[in-house]
C-alpha cells in the first residue's frame, strides 16, 4: 500500500498531550516530519519552550506548524479549546504524582483520560483517537512465561489485585497502582467511545521500556534512565526487580503512535510496541563496548532471563517498516544514546 495514503490529510492539525514529555516530544517530531501540524498541550508554556527551540522543531515552529497550549487534565473542560479544529488526538499525558494509594492514583488517572475524551467528543473535526498505554497494562512481565497477549481481552489482573489490596499503602505498591491506573484509564477510554457512539477510530499504543534519544535533562526523571544510571554506577540491587524487559527506542514508539493516528488500515487495536527482550547483562555488554576505559560490574543475572510472550496480531514491526522503512532500532543504539546523555549531563566519570 502507498505509504502516503493517510486517514487524515497531510497538513491536518493533530493534538498531542504532554507534547514536551519524552515520548510526546518524539511523537511531535514524527508528525511534523510527515507533514502534519501539531498542537501540543503542556502544563505551563515555560516547560515546553525547549521543544520550540529544539534544533529539529524550531524551523517548523517558525512557520507556524506547531503551537503549544496550556491544558491540565485535572481541570474539567480544560481541553475544550485545545481540541478545536484538530483531526486526531494522541493522548500521552499521565498524572505527574505517582502514589501507592489506589484510591487516589487510579480515579485521578481515569478522570484525566476522560477529561480529554469529553472535550474531544464535542469537536466534530476529530476522526482518530490514540491512547498511550503500556505493556504492563496487559501483564506483569515475567521471564519464561509463554502467555498469549490478545488484542482487547488481556489485562494485568495480578496488578489489579495487588493495587486494590487492603492498606497499608507502602512504596512497593506504586508500580501495581500505576499499572492498575493505566488498565482502568484505557478501559475507560474504550468504554466512553462505545457508550457515546463516537465515530472515532481508536487505537492504543503500549510500549514496555522506552530507551534512546533524550533531548532535554528534564526527561532524566523517568525510570529507564534512572535504572540505567544505577547499572552504570554498579548498583545492581537497584535493578534486580526487573531482570528482563522488552525495550523499544523512543523514535520507534513515536512512529507507531503516528501510524495509529493516521494509517487507515490501523483501527480498533491495542498495539504492543516491543522491539526485543533484553536484560541487564545485555546492557552491561553494551556499556563495556561504549566505555572501554571504565570498569563495570560483572554480569550478575544467571540463566539469561528472557521474555517470550506471544503477541496476537503483532503489527508493530510491520508499522515500523511501513512508516520508517526499516527494522527496529537496536538495543545497542538505544542504550548507548541514553547513557551518553546521562554521562554528559550528570558529568559521570
64 vs 152, residue with greater confidence: 64
User: Each residue of 210-221: pLDDT tens digit?
Assistant: 999 999 999 999
Q: Nine-digit cell at 49?
A: 519552550
Average pLDDT taken over every residue of the chain: 96
Q: How high is the pLDDT of residue 95?
A: 77
**Which residues sit opposite 245 in a β-bridge?**
278
Q: What is the SS3 assignment for 211?
A: strand
Pick left, alpha or beta for residue 280 (phi over 0 → left; psi -120 to 50 → alpha; otherwise beta): alpha
**Three cell numbers written together for 47:** 516547560
- pLDDT score, position 152: 86
Grid cell of 116 as nine digits: 480529554
259 CB neighbour count, 10 Å cutoff: 26
Would you state the pLDDT for residue 4?
65
Which pLDDT tens digit goes with each residue over 262-301?
999 999 999 999 999 999 999 999 999 999 999 999 999 9
pLDDT of residue 94: 86
How far apart are the C-alpha atoms of 24 and 22, rounded to whole Å? 6
pLDDT score at 267: 98
Q: How far is CA 75 from the centre of its chain?
A: 23
Domains and their CATH numbers in the chain: 13-344 (3.40.50.720)
Closest CA relative to residue 282, chosen from 340, 319, 242: 242
Q: Residue 98 — very low, low, confident or very high, per pLDDT cuts 50/70/90?
A: confident
Residue 258: is its pLDDT beyond 80? yes
How many beta carbons lie within 10 A of that of residue 144, not counting itself? 10
Could you report the per-residue pLDDT of 327-347, keeping only the tens digit for each? 999 999 999 999 999 999 999
Burial of 309 (0-12, 13-18, 19+ CB in 10 A): buried
pLDDT tens for 127-167 read 999 999 999 999 999 999 999 999 889 999 999 999 999 99
Q: What is the pLDDT of residue 1?
A: 36
What's 155's DSSP letter? -
Residue 334 DSSP code = H
Global pTM reads 0.97
CB half-sphere exposure, 258, CA atoms < 13 A: 34
Amino acid at each position: 500500500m502507498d505509504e502516503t495514503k493517510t486517514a487524515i490529510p497531510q497538513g491536518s492539525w493533530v493534538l498531542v498531550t504532554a507534547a514536551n514529555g519524552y515520548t510526546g516530544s518524539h511523537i511531535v517530531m514524527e508528525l511534523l516530519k510527515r507533514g502534519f501540524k501539531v498542537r501540543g498541550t503542556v502544563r505551563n508554556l515555560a516547560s515546553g519552550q525547549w521543544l520550540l527551540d529544539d534544533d529539529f522543531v524550531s524551523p517548523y515552529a517558525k512557520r507556524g506548524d506547531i503551537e503549544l497550549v496550556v491544558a491540565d487534565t485535572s481541570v474539567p473542560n480544560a481541553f475544550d479549546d485545545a481540541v478545536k479544529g484538530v483531526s486526531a488526538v494522541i493522548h500521552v499525558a499521565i498524572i505527574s504524582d505517582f502514589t501507592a494509594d489506589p484510591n487516589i492514583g487510579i480515579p485521578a488517572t481515569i478522570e484525566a483520560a476522560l477529561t480529554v475524551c469529553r472535550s474531544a467528543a464535542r469537536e466534530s473535526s476529530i476522526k482518530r483517537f490514540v491512547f498511550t498505554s503500556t505493556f504492563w497494562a496487559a501483564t506483569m512481565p515475567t521471564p519464561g512465561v509463554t502467555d498469549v497477549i490478545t488484542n482487547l481481552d488481556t489485562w494485568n489482573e495480578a496488578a489489579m489485585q495487588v493495587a486494590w489490596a487492603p492498606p497499608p499503602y507502602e512504596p512497593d505498591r506504586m508500580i501495581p497502582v500505576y499499572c492498575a491506573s493505566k488498565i482502568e484509564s484505557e478501559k475507560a477510554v474504550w468504554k466512553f467511545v462505545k457508550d457515546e457512539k463516537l465515530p472515532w477510530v481508536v487505537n492504543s499504543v503500549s510500549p514496555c521500556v522506552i530507551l534512546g534519544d533524550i533531548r532535554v535533562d528534564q526527561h532524566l526523571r523517568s525510570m529507564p534512565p534512572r535504572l540505567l544510571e544505577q547499572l552504570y554506577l554498579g548498583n545492581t540491587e537497584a535493578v534486580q526487580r526487573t531482570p528482563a524487559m522488552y525495550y523499544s527506542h523512543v523514535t520507534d514508539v513515536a512512529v507507531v503512535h503516528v501510524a495509529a493516528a493516521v494509517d487507515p488500515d490501523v483501527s480498533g487495536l491495542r498495539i504492543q510496541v516491543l522491539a526485543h527482550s533484553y536484560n541487564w547483562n545485555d546492557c552491561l555488554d553494551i556499556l563495556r563496548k561504549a566505555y572501554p576505559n571504565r570498569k563495570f560490574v560483572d554480569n550478575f543475572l544467571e540463566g539469561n532471563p528472557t521474555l517470550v510472550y506471544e503477541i496476537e496480531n503483532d503489527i508493530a514491526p510491520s508499522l515500523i517498516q511501513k512508516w520508517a522503512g526499516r527494522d527496529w532500532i537496536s538495543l545497542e543504539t538505544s542504550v548507548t544514546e541514553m547513557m551518553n546523555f546521562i554521562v554528559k549531563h550528570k558529568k559521570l566519570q
